[in-house]
Amino acid sequence: MARYIDEILQPGERVLYSTNAHWIFYVPAILAWIVAIILFAVSRQSDVYSIMILCLFGSGLVALAALYWTVKGWFHRLTTETDVTNLRVVHKIGFIKRRTFEMALDKVESVDVNQTILGRILNYGDVTINGVGEGRETIKTIASPLAFRSSITTR
């Protein structure tokens, strides 16, 4: 699967910076996998048949939820692209239903970064790009938001 940015580059345009959705999208899946493993381990240690069956059933249900969240997070990261070229900022979300945002660099008025404490520790955050006029786009939960902002504002 080719990257979206490679399909839309204009002659003389080159990619300066690329980032993606942060791995924090996997946290619900990671926690669910841990719970599923704990429930499975408890079922193996239990001598009471009803508790063993209940733990195995719970482990299976939680594992299904964990699998769903794993695939959902993976697909989100796979289908999200955020790039800065020497001419514009490009952000694409989705595969079949696609949403894109493009803004020429000379139309960018300001770039705001919003990070929580956990976001600062793990290096992710939301970036809001304000354009001249009424253009405004918030890109949620991207990796390295300060480097992304610097790649837009440094010319």
Q: How far apart are CA 99 and CA 111, in angstroms?
A: 20
Report pTM: 0.82
Among 43, 62, 60, 59, smallest CA distance to 51 is for 43
Q: Answer whether 45's CB lies under 8 Å from 54's CB.
A: no
Partners of residue 139 on adjacent β-strands: 127
Collapsing DSSP states into helix, strand and coil, what is residue 154?
A: coil
**Comparing 30-39, 44-53, 56-65, which segment has the lowest mean pLDDT?**
44-53
Q: How would you list the strands of the sheet with 99-104, edge to edge?
A: 15-19, 80-85, 88-93, 99-104
Question: Strand 108-114 to strand 88-93: parallel, antiparallel, or no bridges (unpaired)?
Answer: unpaired
- Looking at the predicted structure, is the pLDDT value of residue 4 above 70? yes
Amino acid in position 40: F
Q: What is the mean pLDDT of the chain?
A: 92
Q: Greatest CA span in the chain, whole angstroms?
A: 70
**pLDDT, tens only, 56-92:** 999 999 999 999 999 999 999 999 999 999 999 999 9
How far apart, in Å, do the first and last CA atoms of the chain sit? 31
